[in-house]
Amino acid sequence: MLSASLDMLEESLLKKIEVMKKIEEENEKQKNLLSNPDEVDEVAFDKILDDKGELIDQLLKLDDGFQTLFDRVKEEVGQNKDSFKEQIKRMQELIQEITGRSASIEATEHRNKKLAEEYFSAARQKMNFSRQTSAAAFNYYRTMNNFKDIPPQFLDNKN
């Protein structure tokens, strides 16, 4: 029973690493997409965010399952450390890899956030410029329409 539980824990860690690799790939896609703010494909950007959201949900489920199973076998593993020494060592190495990948993903997310902020700032500036241009054109149009209704200014009022 304990051996099977440890196998399941190890398998869960391996699955978590695979999901983290996919998140890293999505982060790379996002970085490439946002690296040129003038040519961002919003549909692709939304798809990347949706895909990352699904992957993060998978990670959370794996974490919950791992924690639940670990809590059940923790005491028994502690009593039989010598019997499962190699498997525990492998799991510790996997956990170290997960920790490293987690830090890497966090750093990449931070950089991507800055790129996204730059993109949204540029998009806001374009919108403001368009709004100002529209307002100026409308004011010019209104002024020109009112201009033809102005009565002559120099009238001879002599009778």
Domain assignment of residue 95, yes or no: yes
CA atoms of 95 and 77, how far apart (whole Å):
17
Closest to 27 in 3D by CA, of 4, 55, 5: 55
**Which residues form the domain of 116?**
2-129
Domain assignment of residue 71, yes or no: yes
Domain assignment of residue 90, yes or no: yes
Q: Mean pLDDT, the chain, as a whole number?
A: 85
Domain assignment of residue 136, yes or no: no
**pLDDT band (50, 70, 90) for residue 136:** confident
Average pLDDT (135-139) is: 75
Structure confidence at residue 146 (pLDDT)? 66
The model carries a pTM of: 0.74
Domain assignment of residue 99, yes or no: yes
Indicate if the pLDDT at residue 42 is higher than 70: yes
How many structural domains comprise the chain? Answer: 1
CA atoms of 159 and 157, how far apart (whole Å):
6
Domain assignment of residue 41, yes or no: yes
Domain assignment of residue 153, yes or no: no
Indicate if the pLDDT at residue 46 is higher than 80: yes
Domain assignment of residue 74, yes or no: yes
**pLDDT band (50, 70, 90) for residue 100:** very high
Which phi and psi angles does 156 have, rounded to 5°?
-90, 110
